[in-house]
Structure 1
């Protein structure tokens, strides 16, 4: 088995020869430890730093020195679209309020299939389609390339929680009257 233990930064990738590709869906690209196979069928074990998503095009370095490129796999997703900018903004607001991973394009948004979200967006008036497509959601305000030195909070949201363990405060409210 090929052992991969290093994720290369953008500045380290110029002029490198890519030995093979590794096609992974989003849920596997979120993991820092997994076993899978390359496009040519070689077994690989990926052991990289946890907490950073492997994006489409990410380059990984094996212990042998070989370079492998991550490819975002087609997977079952929902793509919702509208030409109405106000309606699009409302849909993004409601999905963001639910903290779902969301990919945003020009007049369309994409998320992992969820019939409750599908129904909500249909009721708002968006065109909702299930399809096979790569899923590359936003990193979010607290993602790996966020600016401003802002850390995420470690508190409960009445029914779900974010266990990031960093002290931070900000204000927003939820339907249950819970305030921060």
Structure 2
């Protein structure tokens, strides 16, 4: 992989590529959950090279995605480690309370993960949850009517 130096301009990202895109990667950008939802924004790679994202519509980036640059190269998207809460206990009941607050939630057979939030943490502890704090990429469940995030209730 060849990464460009600090201060270089990479141009414009015009599309999103899947993980197995096969293009030359000229940089990496680390984005948290919120930042992985975008349409138009100026970003910088780990090495400081700037580029503009200009997509036709708002997208939620999947793990392993990349930005397709207008020159045919790519910028790899890496999920940032961010503060999360790992929740164990009566998962059905706890998931209902999390969902009732429209909080994105990552679900597994034996635990739930949400972004760290002291108010939700307190509520979940009062409901009997066992909670561990940590740092990890946050990958919540997608919407019921499609993949990725939902953007409202117009489904």
Interval of TM-score (by shorter of Structure 1 and Structure 2): 0.7 to 0.9
RMSD of aligned alpha carbons: 2.4
The answer to whether the aligner puts 1:127 opposite 2:134 as a matched pair is no
5+ long unaligned stretches in structure 1: 147-151, 153-161, 169-180
Indicate the residue corresponding to 2:58 in structure 1: 51
Indicate the residue corresponding to 2:44 in structure 1: 37
Summarize the Cα distance change of 1:62–1:14 in structure 2 as closer, same or farther, 3 Å threshold: closer
The answer to whether the aligner puts 1:61 opposite 2:68 as a matched pair is yes
Distance 1:58 1:116 in 2: 32
The answer to whether the aligner puts 1:140 opposite 2:143 as a matched pair is yes
How much has 1:163 moved relative to structure 2? 4.8
Summarize the Cα distance change of 1:23–1:100 in structure 2 as closer, same or farther, 3 Å threshold: same
Distance 1:131 1:50 in 2: 33
The answer to whether the aligner puts 1:17 opposite 2:20 as a matched pair is no
Distance 2:105 2:78 in 1: 18
Higher strand share: 2
Structure index of larger Rg: 1
Indicate the residue corresponding to 2:88 in structure 1: 81
Q: 1:22–1:69: 8 Å Cα contact kept in structure 2?
A: yes
State the SS of the aligned residue for 2:53: strand
5+ long unaligned stretches in structure 2: 1-8
Name the count of aligned residue pairs: 146
State the SS of the aligned residue for 1:7: strand
Structure showing greater relative contact order (alpha-carbon pairs closer than 8 Å, 6 or more residues apart): 2
Higher helix share: 1
